[in-house]
Amino acid sequence: MINERTDCAALTRPGSLRDNGPVSTDHYFSAEPSAPARPGEVEFSVAGHDYRLVTASGVFSAGRLDPGTAVLLRKGTLPAGGTLLDLGCGYGPIACVLATTAPSASVYAVDVNARARELTARNAEALKLPIAVRAPDEVPDDVTFTEIWSNPPTHVGKAELHMLLDRWLPRLAPDGTAWLVINRHLGGDSLHTWLVAQGWQVTRTASQKGFRVLRVT
Ligand SMILES: C[S@@+](CC[C@H](N)C(=O)[O-])C[C@H]1O[C@@H](n2cnc3c(N)ncnc32)[C@H](O)[C@@H]1O
């Protein structure tokens, strides 16, 4: 079960600031957000564990646990172990949940956004979770994943999203599984169709609040 509490307002959409401050050209997927990092916190509970994570403006959904991420963590089957990847970790909610519920797992958290990686590293350290936080090119080529978990970036555009999944899904171990959550209005169903066309087996395991949870093998 997931409870969410929101403690701060922050940049949540590309180029928008809620406080009428200067218009930023930053996106949540900018490599180095230029706007100052206004700090915040997000609190939520998953599977009986309470989390309070630090966030900052310039990263995705800094003001609350993203509803899509909440659906993914509620509807996906949390693993007990393995080598796990949180693809596009943001401030690290998925990686922290995976590392907490699977203490024996090796958890990687990857993001292009340096601020997101720094926040994930801080959250992992505060929770004493051994998460390997990496830029995409820093993950050794010989690492394969038993599970990939992702609320992937949709605002990067369809071509970029496909390239991202084309890069990482083949790094699943032969019997590996990816858990993805996509908003139906942001192309969830067309992504399902595209994944099948690429040869993946895809099951829509849940559909809630407009979010599709896809299990990819
Ligand atoms: C929808 S957000 C999800 C963030 C976080 N997992 C959450 O649930 O709050 C997608 C994330 O993917 C990251 N991202 C965008 N392009 C990427 C890429 N090519 N490789 C890795 N991460 C990327 C963005 O910076 C962003 O943090």
Distance between Cα 153 and ligand 1 center (Å): 5
Distance between Cα 47 and ligand 1 center (Å): 23
CA angle at residue 51 from 63 to 151, to 5 degrees? 60
CB atoms within 10 A of CB 1: 7
Give the pLDDT confidence of 58-104 residue by residue, as tens digits.
Answer: 999 999 999 999 999 999 999 999 999 999 999 999 999 999 999 99
Which pLDDT band, with edges at 50, 70 and 90, does 35 fall under? confident
Q: Whose CA is nearest to atom 14 of ligand 1?
A: 88
Cα 139 to its chain centre, rounded Å, is: 16
Residue 20 has pLDDT above 60, yes or no: no
Average pLDDT over the chain, rounded to an integer: 88
Give the pLDDT confidence of 104-151 residue by residue, as tens digits.
Answer: 999 999 999 999 999 999 999 999 999 999 999 999 999 999 999 999
What is the C-alpha to C-alpha distance for residues 57 and 41, in angstroms, rounded to an integer? 11
pTM score over 0.85: yes
